[in-house]
Amino acid sequence: MRKSVKAALFGMIALGLVFTGTSTAGAASTPSPRIVGGDTASISDYPAIVAVNQANGGNWCGGTLLAANKVLTAAHCVDGKTPGFFSVNGGSANRTGGPNSSTVKSIWMAPNYNGSTFENDYAVLTLNTNFSGPVATLETNPAVYAAGTNATVLGWGTTASGSSNYQSKLRKVDVPITSDSACASAYPQGSSKGTYYNDSMVCAGFAQGGKDSCQADSGGPLVINGRLVGVVSWGYGCAGKNAYGVYTRVTSYVDSINAQLAK
Ligand code: ARG
C-alpha cells in the first residue's frame, strides 16, 4: 500500500522506524539519560518482558509474555516481516543470551492495524520454544487510565530521540497516564506530529517532557500495579515538550488478544 509523504515522514521521524542492523548497538556509548530519563531495571521488576530482537542479534522491539509460547508486541514491529526475521529472548535483563530464547513460529497482526495512523497497533507472536517464568496479566478495567495514574514503561530502546544508543541492559521509567484531552491537544486530528485516537491509544508522560519510551522500546510493556495496560507504539520524537508517549490501549483488545492465546 502506498503511503502519503506525510505518513512516510511521520513514520520515519515520529516513529523512528529506522533501526540499526548492528548487534548490541550503543552498549558502550554515552550513558545518560536512559530509556529516556529512566534507570536500570531488574527482570524481577517485570518478569514477563521479553526482547523481540532481530535474528542477527540487533535491537528491534520489546514484547510481553502472555503464555509460554505467546508474546504480545506492536503491529508496527512485525508489519512486513517474516518469522525468520526475529529472535526472542526472555527471563533476563540482558537483551540477549537467555535463559529463555526462541525463534518465531508464526506472526498474527491485528487485522485492523492501520500503518498510517497506528490505530490497533498490536500483534501476537507464537514461539517455537516454550518460555518458563511468569506471564503477564492483561488489565481489563479502563478506569486505570485515569489521568495522573503512575505507570512504568520498560525496554532496551534508545536513550534519546534520534540516537542510536540502543541498550543491552533493561531500563525503566515512570510516566503518569495523560488525560484524553491533553493527549488530543498534543496530537490533534490532522497534526503532522500524529493523531491521538482515544479508543485505540492512551498517552503517558509529562507536559514538560524528559521521561519517555523511545525507539526500539516499541512493542514493550506499559504497566500499572503489575498489570499490562499499554504497548509502546509511537510518539513525536521522544520525551519532548507536549509530545507524550502513545501506547496501544490494552483494555480495548483483551478479547481479541485472548482469542490468540487460545490457539
Ligand atoms: N515507534 C518506536 C519504536 O518503534 C517507539 C516510539 C515510542 N516513542 C515515544 N515517544 N514514546 O520503537
Closest ligand 1 atom to Cα of 243: 10
Of residues 205, 154, 168, 152, the one with CA closest to residue 31: 168
Give the model's confidence band at 151: pLDDT under 50 very low, under 70 low, under 90 confident, else very high. very high
Is the pLDDT at 19 greater than 70, yes or no?
Answer: no
The whole-angstrom separation of Cα 76 and Cα 246 is: 13
pLDDT cut 90: percent of the chain above it: 83
DSSP strand pairing (86-90 vs 70-73): unpaired
Domain ranges of the chain: 1-263
Atom of ligand 1 nearest to the CA of 244: 10
Q: If you take atom 2 of ligand 1, which residue's CA is the nearest one?
A: 215
Our answer on whether the CB atom of 232 is closer than 6 Å to any ligand 1 atom is yes
Which pLDDT value is given to residue 256? 98
In this prediction, residue 42 carries a pLDDT of: 96
Distance, CA of 33 to CA of 23 (rounded, Å): 21
Bigger pLDDT: 163 vs 131? 131
What percent of the chain has pLDDT above 70? 87
**Strands 49-54 and 201-204, how do they pair?**
unpaired
Question: Could you report the per-residue pLDDT of 108-124, keeping only the tens digit for each?
Answer: 999 999 999 999 999 99
Beta-carbon count within 10 A of 65 CB: 25
- The answer for 120, left when phi > 0, alpha when psi is -120 to 50, beta otherwise, is left
- Determine contact, residues 115/141, Cβ cutoff 8 Å: no
Q: Which residues pair with 253 in a beta bridge?
A: none
d(CA 171, CA 39): 5
**DSSP string over 180-225:** HHHHHHHS-TT-TT----TTTEEEES-TT------TT-TT-EEEET
The count of other CB atoms within 10 Å of the CB of residue 99 is 13
* Cell numbers representing residue 18 in the block: 529506522
- Ligand 1, atom 4: nearest CA belongs to which residue? 218
CA of 220 to the centre of ligand 1 (A): 10
pLDDT band at residue 98 using 50, 70 and 90 as cut-offs: confident
Is residue 220 lining ligand 1, measured as CB closer than 6 Å? no
Give distance in angstroms: CA of 205 to centre of ligand 1.
13
Residue 183, pLDDT > 70, answer yes
- Tell me the pLDDT band of 40, cut-offs 50, 70 and 90: very high
C-alpha 119/C-alpha 32 separation (Å) is 32
- Taking the domain 1-263, which CATH number applies? 2.40.10.10
Q: Which amino acid belongs to residue 210?
A: G
Confidence of residue 12 (pLDDT cuts 50, 70, 90): very low
Torsion angle, CA of 149/155/158/159, rounded to 10 degrees? 50
**The three cell numbers locating residue 201:** 491509544
Cell 493523531, residue located: 195
**16 by DSSP, 3-state: which?**
coil
| Residues recognised as catalytic | 76, 121, 218
